[in-house]
Chains A and B, each alone.
Chain A
Amino acid sequence: MAKDDAALKDQASEIDSIFKDGKKKPMNFALMKAKEGVVLKAHPLKSPDVMFRDAKGAGGMPAFSCTGVLNVMGKVMELSVINEDVPRTLPKLAKKHFSAMGIKCKVVIVLPGGERLADEDDEDGDDTDEVETEEVAPGIEAPVEEPDDGLAEALKERIKALVPQLRTALTDGVAGVEKLAKALQAASAEIANNALERAGKLVDAVEAGLQQAASAAPTVDTDQLKQQLLGEFNDLSGNVQKLREAAASQVQGKLSQISAMFEAEVERDLKKAGSVLSLMKNFVQAELGKLAPAAADRDPGGAGASTATPPPATPAPAPAAPSPAAPVATGDAPPAAEAEKSFLQRIADAVLEGAAKVVEVVKDNARLLAMAGDYPEAALAAKAAMDGFNTTLGGDLEITPEVLANAAADTGAAKTLVDAAETELAAASALPAGPAATAAVKAAEEKLAAAEAAQTKAEAFEKAAKGKGLLETAITTGPMSPGATRKMSPEAALELVKGAGRDPDLTAVAMEAAGTAVHPDAAAMSLGRVIDLKDAGFEANGTSFNPEYAAEYGASILKMGGHAGPDYFARMDDYMASGRQFLNDPTGEGGAATFGELEQKRSLSVGQAMIGPGGALALDTQGAKDALGDALFNPDTLSNARPALTAHMLETVAFLKDPANAAGASGILQGMPEPPTDPNAISLLQRANGLGPTDPVTKGHAQGAVMASMLKSLDQGPVGSCFSTAPTRRMRESDPLAAMGAYASIAGTGKYKPPFGPEVPVVTNTPPGDDPVMRSWEYSLATSTAQRGASNQRNQLAAAADGGMTGLTDAMKAKAMEGTGGLSPADLAAKQLAEDTKAALQLSKLKNDVGAAFTFIYDPMSVTGVGSDGSSDRGRYILQRISPQKDIRNQADFLAQTTEVALASLAIDPAALEATLVKDHIASPAFITAVTQIWGPPPKKAYLPWEMAGGGQTTEATQALHGDTLTENQMTGELKDPAPPAPRVPEGQRATEVLNGFMAGMAGKADAMVTVRTVGMHGFNALPNDPSLDTLKGATPEARQAALEANMLKPGEGMRDTDIPKEKALELYTAQLQPMIDDEADAAVQALLQAGFDANKPTAAMKPAALDAAIKAATTAARTAGATSAADTWKADEEAKGETITDADYQARLAKEQQERLDALEQEASSAMMNAVFRGKGAPEFVVADTNWGSGADHTFFVFAPDPATGLPALWMKTVPDGSLRKASRDWITAEWAAID
């Protein structure tokens, strides 16, 4: 008896759970009459068929049963059933049974035709009023009827009206509705206590709360939802047809019933229709699984289709189930559908039951357990996938390179046998008809079947081996490992796990993208769809790619999309449906000799297509979509993938989609001259459009060229200028329409005027192949900048001349006043006035004449110093006498030329006696002091017009484009390294100073870009608001220091203290040293390197600094030999030139050579270690600036990140894609860092 009680209690508990879960979500169910009452089984994911078996197993009678979808609303359990032949007593029986278990509810069965079988007529005498007066939630009841005045009655009416609304809100899971229910309960109590005012306020509050909840609830577009449901229903048609052809008649009958139910519900209740559709999917999936597995496997678009396509926005009862066809088990695995179902159920169960359940499922696998923290569903899926792989592999096979190689060889051999068998069959088929031919064909067919079976098995094995290896790497050291710093979404992780079973090769590409691409989720989320397309050969209109190319093409798409982002994949299906993937070279870029030429052709093909009638921008025409699609997806464009160009095109299109931007862009395009007449503009347009020098150009050519320039990123390529690239790139990124205006001016008028600089006729001498309009913008800005810069220099010289010449005219005036002592006071005063006036006019004229006599030219090759790396710092203004032309590079020349100019200005014969005064004055210390101290006496810097300070023209170019009031402000001063071998400031310390200076200098900047300089080296743009810097920001130095310690120094310590596994250390050690050994031409040095290599090989796990030290130790002798040889050569060369080289000179040179070699080695070692061990796996990266360097392929940024060897900050150059880091040489951090703002 006790046993029966326990069983009863279990049953009650199960039904209670179903009742509660049914309130939260629809569930598939089976209800059967049983010996004692009924058996009810229900589950949100398991199919009704499974429930049917479970119910039967629990003692149910199949002859008295029904299956379908269960919903609980309030205290009503509604059972929408598949079959019409439902025993009509079942609701009553169920209610009685539930009641006996202490669960009071109403049971309604809804037949496929909509008829409702209820329990109203049961012996308990329940009636429909029960629903109206029932407890809608614990503690909520309609008010007890009591005699009261009118106000109480009114309140009761309002409460009565609110009850069903609250119940619906509770059923729908509306947030906060529980509080409203309690308030309503309190209102009833207040009425009972005759506290009507308080009751009224409570009812008011509940009404307001419900109204607010209703307005906050997302509105559902029913038409769209209906179409979506119908679309999903239609998507099932292929598999439904399969079932109709192959399944048992009973199954077919049930299928017809569900189908009819859906068709009925979709017209009246979309929520129910969603439930039925879900039921139908599960049913179809389950029944297909019972058919031959091979039949299901061959179906790429049905039950086996990926779930990576956008999930339906239906109120479907079950959580979106992972792809039922993710073949986690292949080959000899259990039937796919069964294995898959089990796998999905486990995921669903565990996720529904919470993290604890997930942990329980994967607790025996430490790696999965670690992974489950971030990716619970993916961890469960990975476990199921691993189980499936092991089944196929015949056990827990360790995946080594040998295993993979053997598997590939086996697959290849199996394919060879299939090919041979096909040849044999073809030969047999060609025999003359007759018994011999028939026998031969039969034998050949059997042979082919056997070979194909063997091939299938070999392929399955190889696929499982690859999948397992891929997953193990991903969860151990890859993007799903606990140490990975780049987190993807849980959904993306799940897609990757599913992909590993379906197509490990493509999944490997998506996995790589997840670890390194700009958009870690994008490729993963579209992986399933790309696999679907690949499996179908990217078929369109009856044409498809061969399997080998389809796989290659799919990989290219995934790689590109990982960088370009979700917008890329969003355009994929339309393009593939168009069939344009089979067009050859639609962009006309075939044959391009340089990437510049290729990018111009690609962007021009898109840009031209985006010009609509009347010259307005037209992005949504089919032509524009086709052209953009070709640039994004066509196999010929992907064969020369330009990820940065693709991303920039999509960003530009997104920008131009904004109506205001589109209007601005159209205005610019339409405002261009018709046709262009300026010869320079015509020349640029001919080249931009690939025309000949005599071909006419039209306004359309000009508009297309402007769009082509807009679609490309403005980069400083491997060649070119930095000082004009930085401000133009900044304008293109921060104010695209202003950049477009500049392009239009150049292409339309052949002239360009920067906002704060003079107009110039544009530069037409642009590099062959590059976009001529874009390059002309940079170069023309450089000319305007030079004009502006020279003007500034002349003004400065005029100010200096002012001081010097004032003294001269004063001296001349004094001379003129000599001997006037005998004059009367009046005459003396008159004389004085005359001389004063004369001197003032002379001075006025002198200052102008000096300014007019000289000019400044910028000499980019003029050496201004020697950089710490031994290279020269070049580029400065040179003072030049205009006529006769003479460069002035020393003080003597300056004084001599100034004397000539002054004498000419004063109209004094140089040979005359009075010229002596002028000459003497200009040669005097007073004149020199007046000229050189225009900024003040020492320690102020001296102004030496014959020796101008060095540096590029970044500041002037930035002023010309972004504002003439901008000034250059130092963030960190220059650090002069002592000559080697004197100790230098440690790199980590200096890099920290530079980073601190940068963060202080950029504090509070709102701009996306601020132009900065490493003075004497480079001009580029800081990114003060890059999201990566958020954790380093602080309002005070103390706050910034705390942020630095927490987010840079502490993770850096972790890196520094990391043990690099022996194998990895050896791999890095070899990768760095072996090429040095191989490339060394000097046999003796090569022997030294080899000996060092052998003596210092890593033999155990080691920390980064130890590996660094081992690499240095291995090369010490060879570096010393190389440095000595170089120093010897230098000494011999210098002495051959007649120079005397002392031993001190020689030692200094030797130390310099050694230091250079050591620096280069450290730079390489750090970079290799960072990329191979730490990048993406724990190393924080703080993006501080955009270098300008890039192309259609990639772009490079300045990044601060810890140096693995020291854990302290270092400056790196990060190239995206692929996200690799290269440590910046020391001169980048010893330079002065200044901002132009």
Chain B
Amino acid sequence: MTDAIPQVALGIDEGAKSVVIIEGATQVSSLGALLTEAPGLLHPDGALTLARVINHLAVRNDWHVIEDPAAYEAGYRAQLGREDPDAPWQEGVLRLRDHGVPDFKGIAAPKMTGTRLTFFAADAAVGLPYRIEVDLSDPARAVDPALYRAVSLIPLPPSTARPPKNPMFVGATGTPKPLRTESRLAEPKADVGKN
């Protein structure tokens, strides 16, 4: 047990469970055990390490901790730049543009305030940002994947192009008829034949 911030590595044990290796020598499989072994991690300087550990124990490699917000923003914008702004949504194609852009000012490196750790993570499949806030005084609850909450995004203008036609589609197609302009109403009968 040490009050210093230890070196930790992330691993997967023989039972395919996520584990944390402390100082290359001790392997633990829960946040509670880690904090018992290394209480120094609760120091504000341990925020990044703890964020990695919590991310690993909660969702392993399905999310990556955003350690450098500027780099994340740069990567996000670069990806947006590679995406066709006029492309309609397409099945199986994952595009950040379809979802929007975060307010990058709101995305920060992991930060500890008292026992509350706040960090952001990007999902590994798309790169969308999530915000995670955990209470370290409850280590078991702190590794709950449900704490990964999607960050609100600012939408980009949707594509004005129609998606490509589905060649298998069977059914009616076409465009609406314009509204009828001529009168449908009955005309009053002319009163004829009377002098």
Contacts and interface: CB of A to CB of B under 8 A. Distances in A.
B106 interface: no
A1194 to B, nearest CB: 5
Contacts of A25: none
Given A787-B125, A790-B62, A851-B60, A582 B185 contact: yes
Contacts, number: 264
Contacts of B25: 837, 841
Contact of B158 (A584, A679, A764, A790): A764
Interface in B124-150: 124-126, 128, 145, 148-150
A875 B56 CA distance: 30
A718 interface: yes
Contacts of B62: 758, 787, 790-791, 794
Given A760-B99, A761-B151, A787-B123, A593 B171 contact: no
A1149 B186 CA distance: 65
Interface string B10-36: 111100101101001101000000000
A224 interface: no
A844 B172 CA distance: 57
A1018 B168 contact: yes
Contacts of B99: 680, 760-764, 783
Nearest to A775: B89
B74 to A, nearest CB: 14
B9 to A, nearest CB: 5
A706 B145 CA distance: 29
B192 A639 contact: no
A399 B140 CA distance: 86
Nearest to A1197: B170
Given A546-B185, A680-B100, A720-B166, A848 B11 contact: yes
A546 B160 CA distance: 42
B88 interface: yes
B185 A844 contact: no
A124 B56 CA distance: 111
A397 interface: no
A1215 interface: yes
Contact of B123 (A678, A758, A953): A758
Given A545-B184, A545-B185, A844-B27, A444 B92 contact: no
Contacts of B27: 840-841, 844
A928 interface: no
Contacts of B152: 678-680, 750-751, 761
A1060 to B, nearest CB: 25
A550 B185 CA distance: 9
Interface stretch (A204-212, A852-860, A1087-1095): A852-860
Contacts of A724: 91
Contacts of A1191: 171-173
B180 A639 contact: yes
Interface in B141-195: 145, 148-156, 158-160, 162-166, 168-180, 183-187, 190, 192-195
Contacts of A856: 125
B2 interface: no
Interface string A576-603: 0000001011000111111100100000
B155 A680 contact: yes
B70 interface: no
Interface residues on A, range: 35 or more
B59 to A, nearest CB: 8
Nearest to B179: A590
Nearest to B157: A693
A520 to B, nearest CB: 21
Contacts of A837: 25
Nearest to A1018: B168
A935 interface: no
Contacts of A720: 91, 163, 166
A391 B145 CA distance: 83
Contact of A546 (B18, B153, B184): B184
Given A718-B166, A787-B126, A585 B11 contact: no
Interface stretch (A244-252, A422-430, A736-744): A422-430
A425 B193 CA distance: 6
Contacts of B155: 679-680, 683, 764
A843 B88 CA distance: 44
Given A445-B193, A721-B92, 14 more contacts: A544-B186, A545-B186, A593-B175, A594-B176, A635-B184, A636-B180, A680-B99, A718-B169, A761-B150, A765-B98, A767-B162, A848-B12, A1189-B169, A1189-B170
22 contacts: A545-B185, A591-B178, A591-B179, A635-B184, A640-B176, A678-B152, A679-B153, A679-B154, A683-B158, A724-B91, A765-B97, A767-B163, A768-B162, A795-B16, A841-B9, A844-B12, A844-B21, A845-B21, A857-B125, A882-B124, A1191-B172, A1195-B171
Interface of A: 422, 425-426, 429, 433, 437-438, 441, 444-445, 448, 537, 543-547, 549-550, 553, 582, 584-585, 589-595, 598, 635-636, 639-640, 678-680, 683, 687, 716-724, 750-751, 758-768, 775, 779, 782-783, 786-787, 789-791, 794-795, 798-799, 802, 837, 840-841, 843-845, 847-848, 851-852, 855-860, 875, 882, 952-953, 1017-1018, 1187, 1189-1191, 1193-1196, 1213, 1215, 1222
